[in-house]
Amino acid sequence: MATFHSEEVQQILQRAMNHQQTGEFSEQQLKEMATELGISASALQIAQQEWQQDREKIQQKQVVDARRQRGFKAHLIPFVAVNTFLILLNLVTNPKYFWAVYPLLGWGLGLGIHGSCTYHLKDEKYSAASIGRLKY
């Protein structure tokens, strides 16, 4: 008879559950499954609370990320519009001297930093306080 590590058992049971039923499980069914697997009611309750906390953190992170992205896009649109106008104005008024590069580079540097902070920040804590701070 084959033996399995607890991680392997978990993976096999997860796959079996995915094949058997794609719908939802009631809390009673969850408790029955835990009992059949030898998981105590207190361990199940702790696991459920941890899962709920993780789920709330993920939802908070999604809210913060969405606000950051909206804020970045709100700065990107004027950047493109104004700099397009400045480049065209530069080409019409003085095509030999490309002065429009200065506002383009200055504003572009700031926008690049904003984009980097928006799309590459990974380690910030997503608490209710950080959500309230962002007002995009």
Report the Cα 35 to chain-centroid distance in Å.
35
Contact 98, 109 (CB under 8 A): no
Task: Report in angstroms the alpha-carbon separations of 106 from 32, 101, 102, 120.
Answer: 63, 8, 6, 21
- What pLDDT digit, counting tens, does each position of 15-59 carry? 777 766 666 778 888 888 888 888 888 888 898 899 899 999 999
The pLDDT-based confidence of 128 (bands split at 50, 70, 90) is: very low
Measure the CA–CA gap between 110 and 102, rounded to whole angstroms: 13
Residue 136 has pLDDT above 80, yes or no: no
**Residue range 5-18, pLDDT digits in tens:** 888 888 887 777 77
pLDDT of residue 30: 82
| Cβ proximity of 104 and 86 under 8 Å | yes
Total Cβ atoms within 10 A of residue 64 = 19
pTM of the predicted model, to two decimals?
0.60
What are 78-125's pLDDT values in tens digits?
A: 999 999 999 999 999 999 999 999 999 999 999 999 999 999 876 555
Largest CA distance in the chain: 86
